[in-house]
Amino acid sequence: MLDPDYLDRAGDMVAGVYGEIEADMLAYLCRLLLDQDIEGLGQRGVTAVNLLAQSAAPQLMAFIESHRDEVNEAVRRTVEDAMSRSDAADAAAISGAAPGTAVAASRTLPRQVELTARGIAAILERDNVDMAQGALDLWNRCVAEAVTKVNTGAETADTAVHQAVRRMMREGVSTVTYRDPTTGRQTVTNRIDVAVRRHVRTQLAQDGMRRTLDVCADAGVRLVEVSSHGGARPSHARWQGRVYSLNGEVEVDGVRYKDFYSETGYGKVDGLGGANCRHSFGPWVPGAPRMYSPDPEHPSGLPSDEVYRLTQEQRRRERDIRQTKRELAGAQLIADKDASLANIAEVERLKDKLRRQQAGLREHIDKANKLGKADVLQRAPNREWAGDMPRIRKTDSSRRTMKEFMNGDGVKRALKARGISRSAAQKALSAELRSRGIDPRNWQNLSKANQQGIFKRAIAGLRGTKKAGAKSATKAPATAAKIMEGKGVSGQSASAIASIADGCQNADVRRAFSSSLADLRLDSTTAARGQAYYSPRTQGITLNMDDTARGFAARPDKAPYQTFFHEYGHYIDHRNGQGARYASEAAGLGVTAKKEVQTMLREIKKREGYGSVREAKEHLTREVITLYRSTPELIGGLSDIIHGATSGTCCDYALPAHRKSYWKGKWGAQALATETFAHFFECSTANPQALETLKRYLPKTYDVFTDMMKGF
């Protein structure tokens, strides 16, 4: 006899392996879809979509085959445990009645395990075919819908594909469990893990019960006790927990026992041991204690209906967690392919949703277990498993709502300084989010740095409605503005540059700017677009002032006048150096940056389990690309510094501001030191949000920079 609670979880181990197979299939199909030209597919028609799916069929079966050993091992272990438990329970029930029966049963156990494992394997073979077909059916439904949306103009190709990927992950792979024998039409469809659990459980129960009948026959025991459990379906509750006769209705010691087969419906699909039945039975000897009762009381003392309700609520929550894990895996695939801020925000939203669901499940179990004398529920990690989850780094989401953000002191000061009303700023912020494909409700799933960057972009084009201009202008050092105008800079740009420098939070940087301004030489302010450099020979700057004034509109990673402050950083670095050396080179800024990047790569290699530093470099490159694609305004020259610190072997296609040869040869070390200094200087003045990025990745290098500025 097998306990009902044991039968309920008997298929979890095998279902867990099928969860991994499902995850492999879904990831493969989603990647296949993300790599397709949906607009081109749409022109060829839905037939082309179906043909593409059929070409994927061999790979789907290959995923099943690759896990065959794991499935067989899970089945073997499950069957051995179940048959051993059943034999032990039967032997205990008839101990003393037929002493040799248990020994005889133990000799046949290996053969029974083999036969049951074969039976389950045969059923799973059918499930395998159904699973592959279910995956193809899922593909056809989702992709056909995507093609239709693109052809009708309802969605862009990217949006339709992303929606299809999310739908595939949300629905998962289903199989047809039952068909109408007359019409052939499907009547019941189940998720693959549900179907596998049911098939394993049913096979174990049926083989265990047939073995119990053999044991009873060998021992001469003709009475059996049927198990019982709370929440049984009404038709089964009628006969559960009672003793029956295997030889028709009989009377023993004045007690009448009804016929086992006619009362329980044993052998029928809707009877004992039928589809999805958790009941079992074992030998019973008159006078022996009873294990079950017709109306079983749960150890907690709670009514059966309440236990059933609490258990079903746990199962629902477990299903929701599995679904969210699949959705999260799909969102991560989309973000890996297209690292837009909207896609990254969706990943963060699902991380937060999963975290809340898991907390909700823990709370549900804790509350349920406080209702009775004993625990009602227990956590079942296998039922929350959704296959091979992708490696997803810890969330950076701020969890700060838009209202909380707008109430921040920094935001209030920024709006007051520019004379912008809160309502206008919030409206512009929502519009900026929508232009990036982000639902404003997802604001709290963005990182603090992303929130600050988007806010800055949103209010950049707003004009103040309050009289803040005159007051703000008085903050900008008039002397600095006049000096700039005297060097041929327009009044508007001169005032803006002086105001930005005066607003820098680092007093040493402000002082360095002001003390060096008088000697600054501007070789050209009308250079070709994209051209900007400092000449140590002339000690002058060449750039296009109109370009740098336009900021993000001209270059997505540069705030207004950020390029000017980069070249100004080169100027004061050279000015404060000794002889042919720059101050940054003498301070070892480049050496520190190089060591810090090397340490970063070693940590990535260890954390991710890579076999080489090259893989760590590829990982870091992808990470920097993702940062740039999502929030270019926050990159702050990070990719350039990493490119230089690795002699051009990392971030070589992420945003290389300089050629690989720039970092090599006689002046390579100097180049890394000076560029690192210039990037820290430009961000300290013109883009403090990007400075946070540099500080997060290169904290030791930043410390060297701040120490340098104290001596300028």
Is 386 within 8 Å of 23 (Cβ atoms)?
Answer: yes
The reported pLDDT for the residue numbered 106 is: 62
Pairing type for strands 174-179 and 223-226 reads unpaired
Complete DSSP assignment for 524-568: ESBPPTT-EEEETTTTEEEEBHHHHHHGGGT-TT--TTHHHHHHH
The reported pLDDT for the residue numbered 197 is: 86
- Tokens 């703000």 appear where? 472
Q: Read off the pTM.
A: 0.57
10-residue mean pLDDT series, the chain (712 residues): 84 86 89 75 60 78 90 91 89 67 62 86 84 88 84 82 90 70 60 84 90 90 92 87 95 93 92 88 91 86 84 91 90 80 83 91 94 87 66 61 85 80 86 79 78 77 52 57 92 90 90 92 92 92 93 88 96 84 91 95 90 91 83 89 93 70 83 96 93 93 93 84
The C-alpha atoms of residue 597 and residue 683 are separated, in whole angstroms, by 19
Complete DSSP assignment for 3-25: -HHHHHHTTHHHHHHHHHHHHHH
Q: Which residues on adjacent β-strands are paired with residue 175?
A: 190
Cβ count near 327 (within 10 Å): 24
The reported pLDDT for the residue numbered 105 is: 54
- Helix 638-645 to helix 688-697 angle, to the nearest 10 degrees? 30
Tokens standing for residue 352: 């937060």
The reported pLDDT for the residue numbered 245 is: 96
The C-alpha atoms of residue 176 and residue 197 are separated, in whole angstroms, by 14
Quick one: DSSP state of residue 381? G
Sheet holding 281-283, edge to edge: 243-245, 223-226, 281-283
Assign 664 to helix, strand or coil: coil
The reported pLDDT for the residue numbered 474 is: 43
The C-alpha atoms of residue 247 and residue 253 are separated, in whole angstroms, by 16
The reported pLDDT for the residue numbered 380 is: 80
Secondary element (H or E) of residue 42: helix 38-44
The reported pLDDT for the residue numbered 476 is: 43
Cβ count near 362 (within 10 Å): 12
Among residues 465, 287, 298, the alpha carbon closest in space to that of 375 is found at 298
The reported pLDDT for the residue numbered 282 is: 93
Q: How many CA atoms lie within 13 A of 56 on its CB side?
A: 26
> C-alpha 647: how far from its chain's center?
33
Buried b (16+ CB within 10 A) or exposed e, 331-357: bbbbbebbbbbbbbbbbbbbbbbbeeb
Sheet holding 540-543, edge to edge: 521-524, 540-543, 532-535
The C-alpha atoms of residue 265 and residue 257 are separated, in whole angstroms, by 16
